[in-house]
Structure 1
Amino acid sequence: MANFDATGASIGEHLSLSLSVVAGETAVPVFVADFGAAFEGVVRVNNWLDLSQAAGEDTASGPWAVVLRGYFENGGGYCYLANTAERTLQEALTSIEAFADVTILVPLGLWEQGADVAGETARAVTAYAASHLAMAILHADRDHDAPQARDAAVAFKLDAGQSAHTALYHPWLVPSGDGAEPVPPVGAVTGLWCAVDRDRGVWKAAANVAVKGDARPARAVTDTEQGDAQPVNFLCEFKGRSTLVWGARTLDEADDWKYIPVRRLADAVERDLQKALSFAVFEPNSQPTWERLRAAADNYLHSIWQQGGLMGTRPEEAYFVQIGQGVTMTEEDVRAGRIVLRVGLAAVRPAEFVIVTVTGTTAQA
């Protein structure tokens, strides 16, 4: 069993008596880098053709252009670019707060200033991801071999929450074309996350999928090296199958959150339930309110189960929904206007219930 809490539903517009939980975006990345003087702050880019207009010619032809092209070539949708030029990383991360749809953070240039700065950047980005129900996608350095990639992940010294919201990929990719230099794999990988979410769902791992554009790994990795270097995820070239993403693990090696799709599904469910729970801010904390929330959550999870996102041949084997005084709330909670909704998910892998608890506020009784 895995437990985590989400507190403080945001105050939104009072909704009607009918309530539904709407599935939100699951794969909206922000690429964080020094983009120079091309733009300030954060900009939205809808596609590759939009890059020059949205972020400037310098970005479209700059050092990160190949990485961003790989993102769009591999199925990436709209994304954001956060510029760290003339400001600190923390200031850049703070500016991302205004974009609530961001669910993936990708720091570019992670290793440009050495291992110490890479570690500081990794900790800052993963801390933001963990506190915003998002994921961070990192990469090893260009010259790392498989054991060094594993050591780099350990050297980041991420805490449990950060590790569970982080995936690391290795090695770099060499784009097609004569004389092409290796680039970090995070652009292509992030695009594949988006494509798989769109085609299958957030519960499907973006693994055993081919990298488009004829890119190939900058170095070969043996099966033994892959096994010894877990939880690093690798990009491997297979004869007749091009380059595949091989691995779907977070940097958390504990059983609860070691698989990327399990962590991302739980985060997506919690985000969606938090939004739905905001309706209750002006409602009485009583049985009719609880029943409407229970029914809305049940319909939402039933839809995920029907799409193949949860285990079980029957709904009761796939999920549960709990709410009510003496069940998820004490009498003191009710008097204080706290409303607590708890759901359990039988994630596709592992086939265990993952507990999501969402807490909001209602009118005090």
Structure 2
Amino acid sequence: MATYRTPGVYLEEIRPFPASVSAPDSAVVGFFGCTERGPLLQPQAVRSLLEFEQLFGGAPALLHAALQLFYANGGAACVVSSVGPAAPTLAALRAGLDTLATQAAVTLLVCPEACSLPRPDYAQLVQAMLAQCAASANRFAILDLYDGGQSRADLAAQRALFGSQHLMFGAAYAPFVRSAFAPGLALPPSAAVAGAYASTDQQRGVWKAPANVALQQVSAPLLAFSDRDQQAFNIDAAGGRSINLIRSFSGRGCLIWGARALAGNDNEWRYVPVRRLCSLVLASLQAGSQWAVFEPNEASTWTRLVAMAENFLTLLWRQGALQGAKPEQAFYVRCGLNQTMTAADLAAGRLIVELGLALLRPAEFIVLRFALQLAAA
């Protein structure tokens, strides 16, 4: 609301609608690895395979074959950071990963060449990817299980390399696959899976699990798995590191057969779409509420924030992202003194909004909180 004064007249402008929230693109993939040529450690936006080849060249770089699978499976927007034409090293790939930390548009991280590193270096890199995703408002890692062409027992043992931190911010896929693009190579599946994420987000929404999806230009996984094998990879009683398998089914092709995050023992965050939807909601609302940073921390500001969040979540509910026959069954938004904030919070300039979402799976509410640090008057 704004007030304007002219001689003898006061005009008061009332804002009839709350501030709007725009959701960012949920599937902008950040690739990093070796390329034939191109700008070194300077992330470049790439919109097609042709554009990638013009900037970075083509074969024999593994990243080129990975981008072919990415676009064949529905990939669109991505950002590529080249670490040069030499064989990948931990230092080079860490440098490429670090350059993507500044790319706010990136929501997914993929590094097909991680599996080319020695085992201890691979562990350091994938754990750094998970840590970067945890530190970001809206980022998720798509990882390849190390030694993706080895025996089932050896493959299962590799999941300890993911460590025990930030497991909810990534998902791992195995085994390696064969592709028409590179018949003589066993390719990590992460780039093809990233394309399926992008395609699923576009057609159905980020709340739809990117699973039971046939991978295009993939002829076969290197290993075959039974339903019993699947259960063993889905459930890791000791470490909770769930692995999603690529499986071949007669008449259906090679399918992504699993939608679990690495945090397989976490009741709230074990599913990929749950983590990604919540990250998208938080990132969207945090970006859309920046107008409140210099506003008074009082009831009118809180009311506007609640209305803004409710409008955004209502749109998501109408698209099928949340459960419930009506909006009040699908979510709640709270903001206020003695609701989400104490007098100490107000004195410290903290404005806290609480959201409850009835996610499609699991069915219970998951409570999210975000806070704004208000500027001093």
Relative to the length of structure 1, the TM-score reads: 0.90
Identity of aligned pairs, percent? Answer: 33
In structure 2, the residue corresponding to 1:39 is in which secondary structure? coil
Residue 73 of structure 1: aligned partner: 72
How far apart, in 1, do the equivalents of 2:307 and 2:50 lie? 43
Residue 135 of structure 1: aligned partner: 140
Residue 331 of structure 1: aligned partner: 343
**Cα pair 1:280 1:289 within 8 Å, conserved:** yes
- Most deviating of 167-176 and 214-223: 214-223
Residue 52 of structure 2: aligned partner: 51
| Partner deviation per Cα, 1:158-180 (whole Å, 9 max, x = no partner) | 31xx2101100011111127943
Amino acid paired to 2:249: F
Amino acid paired to 1:359: A
Residue 179 to residue 272, structure 1, CA distance change in 2 (3 Å): closer
For 2:202, which of 178, 194, 198 is the aligned residue? 198
| Partner deviation per Cα, 1:161-211 (whole Å, 9 max, x = no partner) | x21011000111111279432211011100000000011110000101111
| Partner deviation per Cα, 1:267-307 (whole Å, 9 max, x = no partner) | 00110011012111111111111111100100111111111
Residue 149 of structure 1: aligned partner: 155
Q: How much has 1:314 moved relative to structure 2?
A: 1.9
After the TM superposition, list the runs of 4 or more consecutive aligned residues in structure 1 that deviate by more than 6 angstroms: none
In structure 1, the residue corresponding to 2:256 is in which secondary structure? strand
Aligned residues: 347
Residue 28 of structure 2: aligned partner: 28
User: Which of the pair has the greater relative contact order for Cα pairs under 8 Å at 6+ separation?
Assistant: 1
How far apart, in 2, do the equivalents of 1:106 and 1:363 lie? 37
Amino acid paired to 1:71: F
For 1:260, which of 272, 294, 297 is the aligned residue? 272
**Cα pair 1:336 1:364 within 8 Å, conserved:** no
Residue 147 to residue 313, structure 1, CA distance change in 2 (3 Å): farther
What pairs up with 1:247-326 in 2 under 5 angstroms? 247-253=258-264, 254-326=266-338
Q: Rg larger in 1 or in 2? A: 2
How far apart, in 1, do the equivalents of 2:151 and 2:167 lie? 21
How far apart, in 2, do the equivalents of 1:45 and 1:177 lie? 19
How far apart, in 2, do the equivalents of 1:316 and 1:213 lie? 44
What pairs up with 1:118-129 in 2 under 5 angstroms? 118-129=122-133
How far apart, in 2, do the equivalents of 1:66 and 1:315 lie? 45
**Cα pair 1:285 1:363 within 8 Å, conserved:** no
Residue 95 of structure 1: aligned partner: 99
Residue 155 to residue 90, structure 1, CA distance change in 2 (3 Å): closer
Residue 66 to residue 91, structure 1, CA distance change in 2 (3 Å): closer
Residue 123 to residue 16, structure 1, CA distance change in 2 (3 Å): farther
How far apart, in 2, do the equivalents of 1:359 and 1:179 lie? 51
Residue 121 to residue 46, structure 1, CA distance change in 2 (3 Å): same
Residue 360 of structure 2: aligned partner: 348
**Cα pair 1:173 1:182 within 8 Å, conserved:** yes
Residue 126 to residue 287, structure 1, CA distance change in 2 (3 Å): same
Residue 178 to residue 271, structure 1, CA distance change in 2 (3 Å): closer
Runs of 5+ unmatched residues, structure 2: 1-14, 235-241
How far apart, in 2, do the equivalents of 1:275 and 1:109 lie? 33
How far apart, in 1, do the equivalents of 2:77 and 2:263 lie? 28
Q: How much has 1:94 moved relative to structure 2?
A: 2.9
**Cα pair 1:52 1:60 within 8 Å, conserved:** no
In structure 1, the residue corresponding to 2:213 is in which secondary structure? coil
Amino acid paired to 2:194: T
**Cα pair 1:107 1:125 within 8 Å, conserved:** no
